[in-house]
């Protein structure tokens, strides 16, 4: 046992460790103990999934609070998921069983009686979602003050899942507003998966505070990793494709059905489709059906059924999941994880890899890719892009432990409008100057949103009656604003889907984003249903069990690829390395792809000419940059380069122009355009609405937001100039 840390813990924590029969503390727990108890800084506790981060945070925090008890709730725990809060509630309750310290879960599924009791006791730990904290600060500021007047610590779980998204920016707004309300600055403890560079995370965690941040546990965990990658190709011939797809599904079945396994997919539809196939194979082979589905459109009860099966069953259990099981919900020890289709990011790969081998430290992960033949482009037919991306992501992890850096929105106008309404609801009436002083200094807006931009936003919100000016000049929430803030969906800043609730006699099954017709049959939660009736006003679909194989579709988009992954993909095609984890079909597919890429100039030229003045453009860059290039060629450069059409193939572009390709390339060499002009990438009449509260934002600001939040014009122009300069010069030539 690591005595220096163990002996410093409170007696009830020492007793808990004895009951658990731990023989030692993990390195991350020792480091966290020193950082939390011996410094006054914010602390990031970095370690893989199920590696003891929760205990690393709470053991020293609870020890400090037991030595100097606060006069209110001492710890505010912010979790991104209700299920994660419920899971952590059980763990903390067990830890605090004999301590007299209460734990209060606080989210939409928790009864009012529990919340009233928490307000009466005003001690212990409150576990809350960002949305419930928003509701508390906006509508019950007095209760928030009573609960947190002597708050000492704010613990943010799965910090990496919040960064880079509006929800993470919302959390930083809420922390700043809470600190302003209670007149104190609690220390912040962020729990995060292993990342490559913690400097942006430390900046994010410390934003708006007068403390610095430090990270511990970065080097504390080393896993043994077992990897396996296979590839199948479905040809254009229907009969042959059927056999090849069946081989793909057989591979998944054979490698999961005897294990306790998570089967990750890139979409809800894929999860449903694969589980339907797995159930069909199990039935045909007369073997047990051990398959579950877990994603955001499956009801909470059925998701919990899958979680309990993974955690509590002793035999084989397989759950197909999307992002919902990437986070740290306790599902016990898994034999392996399997990724169907290539992941889009190294961050996602690292999270999913860490779900297996939590006790042994030996993570086992398999990848299987299905390459579907395409007649649109020879490069999509001949190159298994999913396989190449899987290899690139694996190699970046093995070689560098690299994970994508976080990009914070520079112009979060939608969130700015949301927080303006929320602050006004909490305050009642504010002068324009008071409102600006309350909102603009919040961390996501400070140094990024100008005073002029905020004035333009307020003028538009006044014009559209989201806010209202009183006779004395003060501003209050307007009629439209009241309609928004009086609905529970206002507390969330992520986009709401238009959902229909699917209801069977057993209870709610899940949700769909489109409404099927009466009599239609579809698959949801791994089961088949027939629609018996539809209540349009209540957005409810009533169903009974029925045989079918139709998979419903949900809204959603593929993930973005970072430029470094694209560059590593090019390297995969160009090097002759034989990766030891590749299986037979994957080896064969990679070898053919390398031969094709070399013989067609894919590795020596970014421009590959096609018929006439059409050409393929391979800039080997990320999704954001490639989309920006596509927009530039379709809008800002369309006239000067006489561009007729641009087709996005995800990894490259196909471009048709009336100009001869040689002339077009000469023009690219001399590109010198302003990078702050939305007209470069947006037609004059196009106003993209990307975020939830864009209806409150004027059109000019929406175009600016799109330019800075969604595009990267400087990078795209730099790439196009490089394309022009390198044209006709083979790679490697001087």
User: What confidence score (pLDDT) does residue 575 get?
Assistant: 96
User: What confidence score (pLDDT) does residue 456 get?
Assistant: 98
User: What confidence score (pLDDT) does residue 549 get?
Assistant: 65
Whether residue 728 contacts residue 602, with contact meaning beta carbons closer than 8 Å, is answered with: no
**What 8-state DSSP symbol labels residue 680?**
G
Show Cβ contacts of residue 506 under 8 Å, excluding neighbours closer than 6 positions: none
Whether residue 565 contacts residue 622, with contact meaning beta carbons closer than 8 Å, is answered with: yes
**More confident of the two residues 149 and 2:** 149
Show Cβ contacts of residue 695 under 8 Å, excluding neighbours closer than 6 positions: 689
360-371: per-residue pLDDT in tens?
Answer: 556 789 999 998
**pLDDT higher than 80, residue 479:** yes
Alpha-carbon distance of 631 to 637, in angstroms, equals 9
Q: What are the structure tokens assigned to 47, written together?
A: 């370690």
Q: Both ends of the chain: CA-CA distance in Å?
A: 61
Per mean pLDDT, which range of 270-284, 315-329, 346-360 is the poorest?
A: 346-360
**More confident of the two residues 413 and 196:** 413
User: What confidence score (pLDDT) does residue 324 get?
Assistant: 75
73-98: per-residue pLDDT in tens?
Answer: 999 999 988 888 888 888 898 889 87
16-41: per-residue pLDDT in tens?
Answer: 999 989 988 988 999 999 999 999 99
**pLDDT higher than 60, residue 501:** yes
The model's confidence at residue 547, banded by pLDDT at 50, 70 and 90, is confident
Average pLDDT, the chain: 90
User: What confidence score (pLDDT) does residue 734 get?
Assistant: 38
Alpha-carbon distance of 265 to 295, in angstroms, equals 10
530-543: per-residue pLDDT in tens?
Answer: 899 998 877 899 99
Alpha-carbon distance of 93 to 90, in angstroms, equals 5
Q: What are the structure tokens assigned to 56, written together?
A: 């690393």
User: What confidence score (pLDDT) does residue 538 get?
Assistant: 79
Among 335, 329, 326, residue whose Cα is nearest residue 271: 326
Per mean pLDDT, which range of 180-184, 398-402, 556-560, 638-642 is the poorest?
A: 556-560
User: What confidence score (pLDDT) does residue 521 get?
Assistant: 86
CATH code: domain 3-216 is 3.40.50.300
User: What confidence score (pLDDT) does residue 733 get?
Assistant: 45
Among 251, 185, 243, residue whose Cα is nearest residue 443: 185
The model's confidence at residue 223, banded by pLDDT at 50, 70 and 90, is low
The model's confidence at residue 375, banded by pLDDT at 50, 70 and 90, is low
**pLDDT higher than 90, residue 240:** no
User: What confidence score (pLDDT) does residue 732 get?
Assistant: 44
Q: Where is 584: in which H helix or E strand?
A: helix 584-599
440-468: per-residue pLDDT in tens?
Answer: 999 999 999 999 999 999 999 999 999 99
93-144: per-residue pLDDT in tens?
Answer: 888 987 889 999 999 889 999 999 999 999 999 999 999 999 999 999 999 9
Q: What are the structure tokens assigned to 209, written together?
A: 């505070």
The model's confidence at residue 680, banded by pLDDT at 50, 70 and 90, is very high
Burial class of residue 376 in the structure, from the number of CB atoms within 10 Å of its CB (0-12 exposed, 13-18 middle, 19+ buried): exposed
User: What confidence score (pLDDT) does residue 125 get?
Assistant: 96
CATH code: domain 416-489 is 1.10.10.10
User: What confidence score (pLDDT) does residue 660 get?
Assistant: 94
Q: What are the structure tokens assigned to 95, written together?
A: 């830890």
CA dist list (Å): 405 to 196, 250, 408, 668: 8, 37, 10, 30
409-430: per-residue pLDDT in tens?
Answer: 999 999 999 999 999 999 999 9
Q: What are the structure tokens assigned to 318, written together?
A: 């397989």
Q: Which residue is associated with the tokens 């029969």?
A: 21
Which homologous superfamily does the CATH classification assign to the domain defined by 224-400? P-loop containing nucleotide triphosphate hydrolases (3.40.50.300)
User: What confidence score (pLDDT) does residue 171 get?
Assistant: 97
Counting residues of the chain whose pLDDT is more than 90, the rounded percentage is 67
Alpha-carbon distance of 469 to 431, in angstroms, equals 9
Alpha-carbon distance of 278 to 170, in angstroms, equals 40
């Amino acid at each position: 046992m690591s005595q220096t840390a163990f002996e410093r813990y409170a007696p009830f924590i020492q007793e808990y460790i004895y009951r658990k029969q731990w023989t030692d503390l993990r390195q991350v727990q020792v480091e966290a103990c020193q950082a939390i108890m011996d410094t006054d800084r914010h602390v990031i506790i970095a370690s893989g999934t199920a590696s003891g981060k929760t205990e690393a945070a709470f053991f020293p925090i609870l020890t400090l609070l037991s030595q100097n008890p606060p006069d209110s709730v001492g710890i505010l725990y912010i979790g991104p998921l209700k299920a994660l809060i419920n899971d952590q509630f059980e763990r903390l309750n067990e830890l605090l069983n004999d301590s007299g310290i209460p734990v209060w879960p606080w989210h939409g599924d928790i009864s009012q009686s529990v919340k009233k009791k928490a307000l009466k006791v005003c001690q212990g730990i409150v576990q809350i979602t960002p949305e419930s904290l928003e509701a508390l600060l906006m509508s019950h500021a007095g209760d928030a003050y009573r609960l947190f007047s002597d708050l000492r610590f704010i613990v943010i779980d799965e910090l990496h899942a919040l960064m880079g998204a509006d929800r993470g920016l919302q959390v930083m707004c809420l922390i700043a507003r809470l600190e302003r309300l209670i007149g104190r600055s609690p220390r912040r403890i962020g729990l995060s998966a292993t990342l490559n560079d913690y400097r942006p995370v430390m900046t994010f965690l410390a934003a708006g505070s007068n403390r610095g941040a430090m990270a511990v546990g970065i080097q504390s965990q080393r896993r043994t990793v077992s990897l396996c990658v296979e590839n199948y190709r479905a040809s254009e011939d229907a009969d042959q494709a059927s056999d090849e797809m069946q081989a793909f599904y057989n591979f998944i079945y054979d490698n999961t059905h005897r294990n306790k396994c998570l089967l990750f997919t890139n979409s809800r539809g894929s999860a449903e489709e694969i589980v339907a196939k797995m159930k069909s194979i199990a039935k045909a082979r007369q073997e047990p059906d051990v398959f579950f589905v877990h994603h955001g459109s499956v009801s909470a009860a059925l998701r919990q059924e899958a979680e309990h099966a993974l955690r509590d069953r002793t035999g084989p259990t397989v759950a197909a999941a999307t992002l919902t099981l990437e986070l740290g919900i306790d599902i016990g020890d898994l034999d392996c994880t399997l990724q169907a289709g290539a992941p889009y990011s190294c961050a996602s790969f690292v999270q999913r890899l860490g779900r297996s081998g939590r006790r042994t430290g030996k993570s086992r992960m398999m990848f299987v890719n299905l390459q579907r033949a395409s007649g649109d482009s020879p490069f999509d037919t001949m190159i298994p892009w999913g396989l190449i991306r899987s290899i690139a992501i694996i190699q970046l992890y093995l070689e560098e432990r690299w994970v994508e850096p976080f990009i914070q929105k520079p112009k979060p106008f939608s969130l700015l409008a949301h927080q303006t309404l929320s602050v006004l609801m909490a305050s009642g009436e504010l002068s324009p100057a008071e409102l600006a002083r309350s909102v603009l200094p919040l961390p996501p807006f400070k140094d990024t949103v100008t005073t002029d931009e905020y004035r333009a936003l307020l003028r538009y919100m006044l014009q559209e009656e989201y806010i209202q000016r009183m006779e004395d000049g003060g501003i209050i929430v307007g009629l439209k604003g009241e309609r928004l803030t009086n609905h529970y969906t206002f507390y969330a800043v992520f986009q709401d889907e238009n959902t229909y609730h699917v209801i069977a006699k057993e209870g709610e099954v899940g949700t769909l984003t489109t409404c099927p017709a009466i009599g239609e049959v579809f698959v949801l939660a791994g089961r088949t249903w027939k629609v018996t009736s539809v209540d349009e006003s209540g957005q409810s679909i009533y169903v009974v069990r029925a045989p079918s194989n139709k998979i419903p579709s949900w809204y959603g988009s593929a993930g973005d690829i970072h430029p470094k992954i694209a560059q590593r993909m090019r390297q995969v095609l160009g090097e002759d390395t034989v990766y030891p984890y590749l299986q037979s079909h994957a080896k064969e597919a990679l070898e053919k792809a390398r031969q094709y890429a070399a013989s067609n100039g894919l590795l020596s030229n970014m421009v590959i000419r096609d018929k006439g003045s059409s050409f393929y453009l391979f800039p080997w860059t990320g999704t954001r940059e490639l989309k920006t290039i596509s927009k530039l060629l379709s809008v800002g450069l369309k006239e000067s380069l006489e561009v007729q059409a641009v087709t996005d193939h995800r990894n490259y572009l196909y471009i048709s122009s009336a100009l001869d390709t040689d002339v077009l390339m000469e023009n690219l060499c001399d590109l010198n355009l302003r990078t702050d002009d939305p007209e470069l990438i947006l037609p004059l009449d196009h106003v993209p609405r990307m975020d939830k509260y864009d209806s409150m934002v004027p059109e000019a600001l929406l175009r600016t937001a799109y330019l800075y939040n969604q595009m990267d014009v400087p990078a795209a122009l730099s790439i196009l100039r490089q394309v022009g300069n390198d044209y006709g010069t083979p790679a490697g030539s001087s």
